[in-house]
Amino acid sequence: MPEAARSRRVPELAISSTSTLVTHTGSWKYMRPEYHDRVAPCNQGCPVGIDIEGYMALLREGRLTDAADLLLRENPMPATTGRVCHHPCESACNRRELDGAVAIHAVERMLGDFALERELAAPPVSPRGTAVAVVGSGPAGLACAYHLARLGHRVTVFEAAAEAGGMLRLGIPEYRLPRVVLDREINRIRAAGVTIHCGVRVGSEDLPWGTLLARFDATFLASGAHVSRPLGVAGETAIGVRAGLDFLKEVNRGGRPSIGDVVVTVGGGNTAIDCARTARRLGARSTILYRRTRAEMPAIAQEIDEAEREGVEFVFLAAPVGFTLDGDRLRAIECTRMQLGPPDESGRRRPVPTDERFTLPADTVLTAIGEAIDPDGLPLAGTGTAIPTDMWGQTARAGVFAGGDLAEQPRSVADALGAGKRAAIGIDRHLRERAGAPLEHREPDALRLGGRGNLSMTRWRDDDPVPRVAPLNEVVTYEDLNPAHFERANRHEDWSLPLEAAVGGFDEVNRGLDRPAGLAEARRCFNCGVCNECELCLIFCPDVAITRRNGHGFLIDLTYCKGCGVCVTECPRGAMLLTREGLS
């Protein structure tokens, strides 16, 4: 053989005729990998307390019905929240670090609409013989009633208005939340066993508080905040100056008030945006006056964008100081320029007036600087701000709970739904204790999704349909993931009505995603913290120590695992942890 060829020859190797199974490499490890299902950050970030990752995983498998069932365990109104929620879950989404957060709101809306197309089987319940009253049929009241009914209690809702829905019906314009969607979701709550009586004002001759409290074993107060805060500016009682919430209620009941050609809305929240966009649909030139900058506006960012697209004008760093009147008729709003000072109690920089003044012509001024509760109409002590409650919604009066806009919490649809669910758990807990039934359920921290999330009804019921692998109630961060195993994929964006059609009427503007696009968007989900059997741990294990478990997941044969941690490093979803040998 030529010398050159000999030098290229593969060196001799020792070859064993037996299997590598005879070498117990695990005998010299000091670390071991473990599978743990942890909490996705979107789950912790959801004010309702939804297992978002769970239903996304089911959608990935094409199991729409199972995904809808899982969603409805925690949220009775997903078609509503998919349209009007401010979706803080998306701000928490780990995928935003790669190529954009998953459009969770659009997927939830698609799944909520799917759920309305079919009759979902009611979960089996054991009637408890207890009766609960719910005062108010807004999102908090409806959620509390729904969950209590599914826990086996007899629930009756009393609503002062002619139709159920509270601020969902009276405060949110139909171009954001079509009434047919709201009606169908309320009908599903009725079908769960909830009785709703409309046109009954509790605390009046209709139904005195004493009668109500004596008739029911527990009561949940969720009558909302309907008293508009005054501007505190001279002249605001003039014709043409009116509360924005009253304006929205009139329009949402079918009225078309005369507002003139120029409308100025004072405020920066969702009510202000709804007023301004509604005024555009009534043919007015519409302007929003806000005392801070756009960055500090509490309104949903997408709604601000839609208002701009529809021609609403914004005047930032300005506040009203008076009105120009012609007799008792409004002609203009007088304003002062503001500048931002140190942060106030909200954490935002405090607006401070300057000496610069200007006027804006206005035929109508709508005030939308917040709403207060009416404590005089309630059966317990409170303030114009909130009724004190504990984390279960329990008030100072035994058996009386409160939530939604009545309590001290963020005022959003999602937060109200979450408060209703917490109160349902609190009432169920209270009635069990009163009956002397053993409480086998865990304390609040174990019911929370992560350290800061809302409570899980599934955890309270202890009937999770999703198999969990050594669950840990800790949240997975982006640093816990291995993004190298994910391909970049553009986010699917909602589509909207053309501008002329949007402003020309009250048809729904944001049309969301169709089902194929919604399912494709669900596949963008990382499924943070949860094993979805991608097999990368099995593939990358150098010791063939990982095998499939019958039914679900994988097994680690610690006889052969040498604790190298390759499987933990390669796990895309942070569903594996490396721990010191002997610590678990």
Instruction: Return the CATH number at 179.
Output: 3.50.50.60
> Based on the domain organization, do 109 and 156 belong to the same domain?
no
469-488 confidence digits (pLDDT tens): 999 999 999 999 999 999 99
Q: What is the CATH number of the domain that holds 107?
A: 1.10.1060
Residue where one domain finishes, among candidates 319, 351, 370? 370
CA distance 62 to 349: 47
Whether the pLDDT of residue 582 is over 80: the answer is: no
> Based on the domain organization, do 409 and 536 belong to the same domain?
no
> Based on the domain organization, do 296 and 427 belong to the same domain?
no
Which range of residues forms the domain containing residue 483? 41-120+466-522
> Based on the domain organization, do 24 and 51 belong to the same domain?
no
Q: What percent of the chain has pLDDT over 90?
A: 77
CA distance 478 to 457: 27
Residue where one domain finishes, among candidates 351, 370, 389? 370
Query: Does the residue 453 lie in any domain?
Result: no
CA distance 4 to 43: 65
> Based on the domain organization, do 564 and 486 belong to the same domain?
no
Give residue 385's pLDDT.
Answer: 77
- Listed in sequence order, the residues at least 6 apart from 73 whose beta carbon sits closer than 8 Å to its beta carbon are 51, 457, 458
Whether the pLDDT of residue 207 is over 80: the answer is: yes
If one counts every other C-beta atom within 10 angstroms of the C-beta of residue 525, the result is 23
Give residue 123's pLDDT.
Answer: 59
Angle at 565 between CA 559 and CA 567, to 5 degrees: 90
Query: Does the residue 248 lie in any domain?
Result: yes
Residue where one domain finishes, among candidates 319, 348, 370? 370
CA distance 154 to 148: 8
> Based on the domain organization, do 333 and 293 belong to the same domain?
yes
Query: Does the residue 451 lie in any domain?
Result: no
> Based on the domain organization, do 363 and 301 belong to the same domain?
yes
CA distance 276 to 501: 17
Q: What is the CATH number of the domain that holds 547?
A: 3.30.70.20
pLDDT band at 347 (very low <50, low <70, confident <90, very high): confident
- Range with lowest mean pLDDT among 212-216, 495-499, 549-553: 549-553
Give residue 326's pLDDT.
Answer: 87
36-59 confidence digits (pLDDT tens): 999 999 999 999 999 999 999 999
State the average pLDDT over residues 521-535: 95
> Based on the domain organization, do 351 and 234 belong to the same domain?
yes
> Based on the domain organization, do 164 and 282 belong to the same domain?
no
111-167 confidence digits (pLDDT tens): 999 999 987 556 566 678 899 999 999 999 999 999 999 999 999 999 999 999 999
> Based on the domain organization, do 272 and 315 belong to the same domain?
yes
C-alpha dist (Å) from residue 583 to 415, 447, 545, 566, 578: 39, 25, 20, 20, 11
- Range with lowest mean pLDDT among 341-355, 356-370, 414-428: 341-355
C-alpha dist (Å) from residue 122 to 119, 257, 550: 9, 43, 31
Three-state secondary structure call for residue 334: strand
Angle at 158 between CA 170 and CA 151, to 5 degrees: 110
Q: What is the domain count for the chain?
A: 4
pLDDT band at 443 (very low <50, low <70, confident <90, very high): confident
Give residue 282's pLDDT.
Answer: 96
pLDDT band at 553 (very low <50, low <70, confident <90, very high): confident
